[in-house]
Amino acid sequence: MANTFKVINFAAEPNSAGTPFTMYTVASSTTTVVLGLILANIHSSAVTAEVELVSTTSNRAGANNASNGTSFLVKDVNIPSGSSLELLSGGKVVLEAGDVVRVDCSVADKLSGTLSVMEIT
């Protein structure tokens, strides 16, 4: 099994507020560990942001653990103008093949981001 560190960047997303931008999709036969995520507000005033994990993983058991669910890693968090927000620092999130990380912003094209991951293939 090979471990490959990767960085995924985007300059100005989403194209339309309320329509999340797909930042990363886990490839088939791959497990990914999210190491960190930084979101920067490039707007002249404050924005709110959210990060979603869209899982394509089968149900893992438990009453509230649905298959193919969407969860929020952060929801409607305020990012002041010219500021950045570091998410998941010190905490890890494991993604399985087909899982997707999406970001959204209250204002179109005003969020920049960097995602650091380790892919296990």
pLDDT given for residue 19 in this prediction: 95
Tokens of 88: 């998941």
pLDDT given for residue 66 in this prediction: 60
CA torsion, ordered 47, 68, 121, 94, to nearest 10 deg: 50
The CATH number covering residue 91 comes to: 2.60.120
In the chain, the number of structural domains is 1
Tally of residues, the chain: 121
pLDDT given for residue 73 in this prediction: 93
Q: Could you list the residue range(s) of the whole structural domain that residue 14 is in?
A: 3-120
**Using an 8 Å Cβ cutoff, are 49 and 79 in contact?**
yes
Give me the residues of the chain with pLDDT under 50, please.
none
Compute the chain's Rg from CA coordinates.
15
